[in-house]
Structure 1
């Protein structure tokens, strides 16, 4: 994480002759998140620790013209400082108008309970949120279906179904298959479209989103 070692950057700088590549999987996580948001969505709500993935997916959504709603002033200030341009259109404190939520580690039970019925929760964290709402939908943490050629695969994490692997694990495999020479750590991101296309090329498939809703 950022506080521990700046997403691995400290380790790479300490060992500049490192022969293996350090891959944190952030680019693939962002690609999966972008492709998990239902088509036609015009706004999403972002709530959770502002990680490297959260910053990157927010920037990508804004580039696509999708409004990103944040609930806390401090989160807005951090995002605004990171992007360098201020846009009031990307800041709101309304829970009621948005039915697609991107959620991270510190989303509270109170916040979940304020979501509108039928809301789709899409985690951007490595661990899933507690499923409190029976009238809402919960997608998996960023993950993909493994290729059929990959044998003897059970569940990658105990909250994922069989033959489904977390993107943070897939990213390392993909890096090796493609022979990419750069590290993906610190604040460095690979090209999101390139990573997504390479992943599909090697037979990894996106998971079905629980619903198709418009916001």
Structure 2
């Protein structure tokens, strides 16, 4: 199999990198859209109990919907291609973003806000200088979980013509050729692993900075 994998990269490397680019592009666009929706809503949820209850219930409902089922449910309404894949992946990315954003802002100690108020900060300054930096590790953890979910689920988007590394996996399954399956599967795993390592490193750096900056 190793020989077949090497032969594939020698003959079809440009096609492979196209699939990688499609996968990364779809994943990043999905993540940005999901963040635009979830982060403000999560912040409101940390301030308004009713919004938090709605977000939590909404996130739990979304978690029980299979990725493939969601993709196929959208086909009769908006057809195939990039758009239904984006919608389905955004929906799948919302739960970890919502839950972790609410948790992050709720974990900010009132003591820090009291100190900021005593120093003369207004509400906007408190949010920018105190709340967001302290909640950021939780938010980044939510982004990490969402991105890993997106990268894994984006392989299924091939079913509706959105391209990506799933093309290799399903081509291999259709041809009973494990070479394509291995290349596609390992590539998706590497993208997920790199995302996790990168965000874990960033979260640790921010946590160390927070401990140094807000130690009282």
Structure with the higher fraction of residues in helix conformation: 2
Q: TM-score, normalised by structure 2?
A: 0.27
Q: TM-score, normalised by structure 1?
A: 0.27
Structure with the higher fraction of residues in strand conformation: 1
Tell me: higher relative CO, structure 1 or 2? Use CA pairs within 8 A at least 6 residues apart: 1
